[in-house]
Structure 1
Amino acid sequence: MIPALNPLVLNLKESATLAVNIEARRLRDMNKEIYHFGFGQSPFPVPEILRRGLEEHSHKNHYLPTRGLPKLCEAVSSFYQKQFNYTFTPEDVFVGPGSKELIFQCIYLIEGPLLVPAPSWVSYGPQATLRGKLIKPIITQRNNSYKLTAEELDRACYSLGEGQKILILNNPGNPTGAVYTHDEMKDLAEICRAYHVVVISDEIYAMIDFNHQKQAGMSQYYPEGTIVSGGLSKSFSAGGYRLGVLLIPEELAILKQALKSIISETYSSVSAPVQYAAYAAYASFDELEEYISTCCDIHRFAGEYLHSRFLKMNLNCPRPGGAFYLFPDFENYRDVFRRQGISTGYTLCEKILQEARVALLPGADFYLPATNLGVRVASVDYDGAAVLKDWKGAQECTAEKTMEFFPNLVRGCDALEDFLKNSI
């Protein structure tokens, strides 16, 4: 029997980030040396406070409230007030099985086309496709570190005419590592308010800001129309815990009621032990600040190392300001690759994986044209526990130490450099 499926899913493919991770791991399982620049997962160990919280509450076997463990909602609200000056109350907080799922629920519930800056994270568009939404990529510019400008947003909103729209904005950004300034965010907020745009502000990397400043959040300038998402996976190095949070302002109360209803009919509630573990982390965040600051310093060093190597290879690459990604492009080699029959980012990444053993993702997976020669690089292919244990700061990281701490980043760059030299 061949069952009929929802036609909206027939053209979907597996998430590009998950697919490249599976392929890289498959090749490594075959004892092939692969430099895995394709998957963004924090390499650091789960903080002790989270592990202890999970262990101490492993016996909790009751369903928790749909919206989340009440004291966890209070702790999340307090965390965002203290760290980012947001004004969300505990009643505004929802807990879900990862921020990815919560973003999908929002996209499903809110009417209107989805505005997606390009490049942006791979899953926003497919999630909108599952809802049958129009997706409007907004091409951003390399000379602005691929950050969305107010002018670009204005043109996109105007082109769509009347009616509600949704903007999803990731800050710090995946796949570029870009971080918005307060002035940039304020300008975007004015456009969103003028066009009645509902903003989903994906702030999963909010604590990985290389300037160690309180980030510019859309909620600071457009609180009545901004939904904030976050969670444990990136800054807290607990992706496998699958716990995300969503903060919805009172002005969007109708969404809160709808979200409670849809949660009650889908996943019901997040694992109780995991919610108690998350409470331990959010409520005692002061105990984690040194850990998160040190991890951020290591992310910054790894990103800046790759950035400097890419520039020496004559790649175009904005300097990352946060998260753990870079977005270099091979535009300066376009003619070289064209003579080899390579004209798309997909074929380029396939060739680099085959010949240089470096796993990358093409710009087309991030809403750019197929011919775009940009690639996403994740800077986390190293043993985070070992680096964290012996990290003395970037100023102590000599060439020898860099090789000791980040061998796959160094060798991956060497392999990519050799690949380019051999291509000319």
Structure 2
Amino acid sequence: MYRKVEHSQTLFINTQTKKMVDQNKEVFRFGFGQSPFMPPQNVQSALREAIGHKEYSSVQGDPELREHIARFHFEHNGLRTRAEDVLVGPGSKILIFTLLMAVQEADVLIPAPAWVSYGPQAQLAGHHVITLPTSYEKRWRITVEALHRAVKSKKFANTILILNYPGNPDGLTYSREELMEISQVARTHRIIVVSDEIYGLLHHQNSHLSFAAFYPERTITTTGLSKWCGAGGWRLGAALLSEGLEPALKEALLGIGSETYSCAPVPVQMAAKVAYQDYKKIKPYISRQTQILKTIGNYCCEKLVTARIKVHPPEGGFYLFLDFSEWKDRLEKRGITTSNELCSALLEEKGVVLLPSEAFGFEPSFLGARLAYVDFDEPHEEESFVIKTHAPKISGGIQALVEWVGDL
């Protein structure tokens, strides 16, 4: 009678973690990927000052904001988009779903691991999901060979590929050569590419490459305020349509938006105009974040590698994807044979909250998990960041995880 829709694993784990904290249990919150950084003071002030804006905006978003977003991303990494091809919505999550709804009967190619909502959204839109396998050895990157195999198993005329880099849950990105190879396959098969670059501004080397630069024919780039601006709950996302997309797609997106979310919250749009107004002025704020996140990510990675947990050093965002396969035999002796059982044991025995790899597209038997290294408070600007001083829950949680593995 009703659709069966699993609850978002990331939102669920956040709720469960809050319950444990309320019960005064020691918890190391590595499960939920929420930025600990506050939006810049002038952006916060702009939101307070915009409280009187109670009117609707156009579905597409405030025209001046769209101009700012287009110019901001061009200054950041050369991404070329016209203001009239920018769509603003209440979060990039709903914009991705709107994009999936706008295309009739498609095969949706999703890497594993991938963000938890891509698959459920594609299924809700009535599409056929094809999982693209990856491996630790290939840095969890999709390959040209995997793409060609997926195309051969297609059911429908339309094909959508969802890319996310720097990635959730792996914290890794793609090289220029890898993006060029993927774009050639996309061009050959006329694939629509949804390039989710929500963590692009948190690239640890500030050298993010947008997929639209390699495949301007049929790429939609999604982004927003939630990660680089620390404003997840404000719900402000943007979709940047590349020049080769058919006008009918834009019309479909606006039509769906008009019948569902109407517009992004207008006070938040006013604040976003300040956030996106000048990339050069906001760059020091972003650089400070990436330096802190890079320091923490590399610290966690180094400690985990000593415990024979397979993990790649992060390249952007604030995630690590952990592979416990080296411990498979010892885990089996303890009755742990799935990623859910692995994460449950860590939570019960050490208070370490991880998200199981099953949530990211893997079979239950794959012993993997995502770690979000954001359990710290933003230090004051004048302070030099020291992990054990400013992020004691990070160092304590990593130590607890390493000890747990060592006791297997």
Give the alignment's TM-score, normalised by structure 2.
Answer: 0.97
For the Cα contact (< 8 Å) 1:125–1:135, is it kept in 2? Answer: yes
Within the candidate set 91, 99, 104, 1:98 is matched to 91
**Match status 1:125 vs 2:119:** yes
**Match status 1:230 vs 2:209:** no
Q: Distance in 2 between matches of 1:410 and 1:295?
A: 18
> C-alpha displacement at 1:202, in angstroms?
0.2
Match of 1:61 in 2: 54
**Match status 1:407 vs 2:407:** no
For residues 38-88 of structure 1, give each alpha carbon's deviation from its aligned partner in whole angstroms, at most 9, with x where no partner exists: 010110112112111112221112111110000001111111222221221
Match of 1:219 in 2: 212
Q: In structure 2, do the counterparts of structure 1 residues 391 and 226 end up closer, same or farther at CA, with 3 Å as the change threshold?
A: farther
For the Cα contact (< 8 Å) 2:216–2:243, is it kept in 1? Answer: no
For the Cα contact (< 8 Å) 2:107–2:155, is it kept in 1? Answer: no
For the Cα contact (< 8 Å) 1:77–1:90, is it kept in 2? Answer: yes
SS class of match (1:318):
coil
Amino acid paired to 2:238: V
For the Cα contact (< 8 Å) 1:299–1:324, is it kept in 2? Answer: yes
Amino acid paired to 2:351: R
> C-alpha displacement at 1:285, in angstroms?
2.8
> C-alpha displacement at 1:179, in angstroms?
1.0
> C-alpha displacement at 1:389, in angstroms?
2.8
SS class of match (2:200):
coil
For residues 348-377 of structure 1, give each alpha carbon's deviation from its aligned partner in whole angstroms, at most 9, with x where no partner exists: 100110001100011110001111111100
Match of 2:375 in 1: 381
Amino acid paired to 1:34: V
For the Cα contact (< 8 Å) 1:37–1:380, is it kept in 2? Answer: yes
For the Cα contact (< 8 Å) 1:116–1:137, is it kept in 2? Answer: yes
Moved more, 90-99 or 162-171: 162-171
Within the candidate set 52, 76, 82, 2:45 is matched to 52
> C-alpha displacement at 1:278, in angstroms?
0.3
**Match status 1:417 vs 2:402:** yes
**Match status 1:327 vs 2:328:** no
For the Cα contact (< 8 Å) 1:294–1:388, is it kept in 2? Answer: no
1:25-424 alignment, distance < 5 Å: 25-111=18-104, 112-160=106-154, 163-213=157-207, 215-252=208-245, 253-384=247-378, 387-392=379-384, 401-423=386-408
Q: Distance in 1 between matches of 2:21 and 2:62?
A: 40
Structure having the larger proportion of residues in helix: 1
For the Cα contact (< 8 Å) 1:44–1:388, is it kept in 2? Answer: no
SS class of match (1:73):
helix
SS class of match (1:277):
helix
> C-alpha displacement at 1:251, in angstroms?
2.8
Amino acid paired to 2:195: S
Q: In structure 2, do the counterparts of structure 1 residues 333 and 390 end up closer, same or farther at CA, with 3 Å as the change threshold?
A: farther
> C-alpha displacement at 1:162, in angstroms?
6.6
Q: Distance in 2 between matches of 1:222 and 1:132?
A: 26
For the Cα contact (< 8 Å) 2:314–2:320, is it kept in 1? Answer: yes
Q: Distance in 1 between matches of 2:201 and 2:321?
A: 20
Amino acid paired to 1:274: V
> C-alpha displacement at 1:169, in angstroms?
0.3
Identity of aligned residues (%): 37
For residues 241-299 of structure 1, give each alpha carbon's deviation from its aligned partner in whole angstroms, at most 9, with x where no partner exists: 10000011243211101111111111111111110100111113322110100001001
For residues 366-424 of structure 1, give each alpha carbon's deviation from its aligned partner in whole angstroms, at most 9, with x where no partner exists: 0011111111000100012xx253443xxxx6xxx32111111111111112212222x
Unmatched segments (≥5 aa) in structure 1: none
SS class of match (1:327):
strand
* Matched positions, count: 406
Q: In structure 2, do the counterparts of structure 1 residues 200 and 148 end up closer, same or farther at CA, with 3 Å as the change threshold?
A: same
Q: In structure 2, do the counterparts of structure 1 residues 388 and 205 end up closer, same or farther at CA, with 3 Å as the change threshold?
A: farther
**Match status 1:24 vs 2:17:** yes
Q: Distance in 2 between matches of 1:365 and 1:27?
A: 21
Amino acid paired to 1:72: L
Q: Distance in 2 between matches of 1:108 and 1:132?
A: 8
Q: Distance in 2 between matches of 1:248 and 1:110?
A: 14
Amino acid paired to 1:404: T
Give the alignment's TM-score, normalised by structure 1.
Answer: 0.93
Q: Distance in 1 between matches of 2:156 and 2:226?
A: 37
Q: Distance in 2 between matches of 1:244 and 1:96?
A: 5
Q: Distance in 2 between matches of 1:274 and 1:66?
A: 14
Q: Distance in 2 between matches of 1:324 and 1:315?
A: 18
> C-alpha displacement at 1:160, in angstroms?
1.8
For the Cα contact (< 8 Å) 1:295–1:388, is it kept in 2? Answer: no
For the Cα contact (< 8 Å) 2:31–2:371, is it kept in 1? Answer: yes
Aligned residues: CA RMSD: 1.3
Q: Distance in 2 between matches of 1:50 and 1:380?
A: 22
Q: Distance in 2 between matches of 1:118 and 1:52?
A: 40
SS class of match (2:222):
strand
For the Cα contact (< 8 Å) 1:231–1:245, is it kept in 2? Answer: yes
Amino acid paired to 2:8: S
For the Cα contact (< 8 Å) 2:236–2:264, is it kept in 1? Answer: yes
Q: Distance in 2 between matches of 1:376 and 1:391?
A: 29
